[in-house]
Structure 1
Amino acid sequence: MSNIVCITNRHLCKEDFLTRIIHIASYHPKAIILREKDMTPEDYLELASQVISICKKYNVKCILHSFSSVATSLKMNAIHLPLPLLRSMSKKERSSFLVLGASCHSVEEAKEAEALGCSYIIVGHIFETDCKKGLPGRGLEFLQNVISSVNIPVYAIGGINETNISQVLHTGADGACLMSSLMSNDNISQLMKK
């Protein structure tokens, strides 16, 4: 099974977004996280329905992002949240999701996410990336420190590509998240095979 998690950003797509999702899903990543935070809940619901359908066809886990009410209305058991949103949810709301993830940027945040019931976390940003222009990556040592501080799967994000993913996996990370490269790369097959 793949250890690559696709994080979406429709604004980076060079082609029709759903066509890109089909293409990515056909390579069976570990999961696709539908991270389209700038949408209205209504538009997100419509897009999520389409992406869920694609993921089911290819037997790929679909994880919704930020819109917990949309996830609930679609009877989805997987959600990824920024830490402030996770903190604002009640224990009952959090426990309604079988897969609960959060984005973390420190050891303390990772420990907090685990204490709040997360089943995995995404940690970043590890390397320099265009998404965080001007901010240096936190590095592999930071990633190792987070991994050793929690007992749940840790996925790395930020500037990860085919040339440095082996370094990320060597730290003990459970996998890596790719956004820009999967959304805009002309040769997804080469990227996923590496």
Structure 2
Amino acid sequence: MVDFKLYTITGEQFHEGRDLKHVMEEAIHGGSDIIQLREKKGSKREVLKKARMLRELTKKYNVPLIVNDHIDIALAVDADGIHLGQDDLPLEEARKIIGPNKIIGISTHSIEEAREAEKGGADYIGVGPIFPTNSKDDVVDPVTTSYIKEVMNEITIPFVAIGGIKLHNVDEVLEAGATRICAISEIVGSEDIKGTCEEFLVKINRSKESANA
């Protein structure tokens, strides 16, 4: 079973002028324990080049690499898995291509989608967007923290809360029951990427300790 606490997704529009490798390495230094390459606009060659670089980086630190959408590129660089949206290739077909040992994550925006992903064999689901976000062009309306509570009550596979999550509102997400957090702009756009990741982890760990007390 895949497990992690802090999931960081690439978002180069939030750190123009700063090198992608440097940004993601700083996130790993700060404790990000899973990395996703999400590249919607580049050519296949450009995405492949970035994927190869990130595969080398994540192997160095023994951190899983997930590739968004591009199953062919995930296979080409031997990524640890793929992440699919609701309009991407169906999970069952993706599993046939990528094999039984790779991670498949699915974005979900409702409990019905979460149930379908779990039934279909997803390794984890994304739950969101919790808050309004500008990290994606085709974003759906916020699902709020109430969706976290629904997933907590019914879904058994790991889930990660995503969408508009910042240091100032993450406590609300954790209080709703999330134990895994994904952030994009708050991390990669930060002046202190490593420090921002460390702050997220302090909050995640404090919430877990409170829940176990």
TM-score (norm: length of structure 1): 0.88
Higher strand share: 1
- Identify the match of residue 109 of structure 1 among 83, 104, 113: 113
CA distance in 1, matches of 2:41, 2:117: 23
Q: Counterpart of 1:76?
A: 79
Q: Secondary structure at the match of 2:113?
A: helix
Taking the aligned partners of 1:140 and 1:75, their CA distance within structure 2 comes to 35
Structure 2, unaligned stretches of length 5 or more? 200-213
1 or 2 for the larger relative contact order (CA 8 Å, sep ≥6)?
A: 2
> Which stretch shows the higher mean deviation, 165-174 or 19-28?
165-174
Q: Which amino acid aligns with 1:12?
A: F
Q: Which amino acid aligns with 1:99?
A: I
Identity among equivalent pairs (%): 29
Equivalent residue pairs, number: 194
CA contact (8 A) 1:52 1:62 kept: yes
Aligned residue among 143, 153, 176 for 2:181: 176
Aligned partner of 1:63 among 59, 62, 66: 66
Where in structure 2 are the equivalents of 1:1-194 lying within 5 Å? Answer: 3-14=5-16, 15-87=18-90, 90=93, 91-93=95-97, 95-131=99-135, 137-194=142-199
CA deviation after TM superposition for structure 1 residue 129, in Å: 2.6
Identify the range of structure 1 (92-101 vs 116-125) with the bigger mean alpha-carbon deviation. 92-101
Structure 2 letter corresponding to 1:167: E
CA displacement at 1:97 relative to structure 2: 4.5
- Structure 1 runs not aligned, ≥5 long: none
The runs of at least 4 consecutive aligned structure 1 residues that moved more than 4 Å come to 132-136
Deviates more, 1:42-51 or 1:82-91: 82-91
Please give the per-residue CA displacement for 1:106-147, whole angstroms capped at 9, x wherever unaligned. Answer: 111111111221100111111123347997632111221123
Q: TM-score, normalised by structure 2?
A: 0.81
Task: Give the Cα–Cα distance (whole angstroms) in 2 for the partners of residues 144 and 68 of structure 1.
Answer: 31
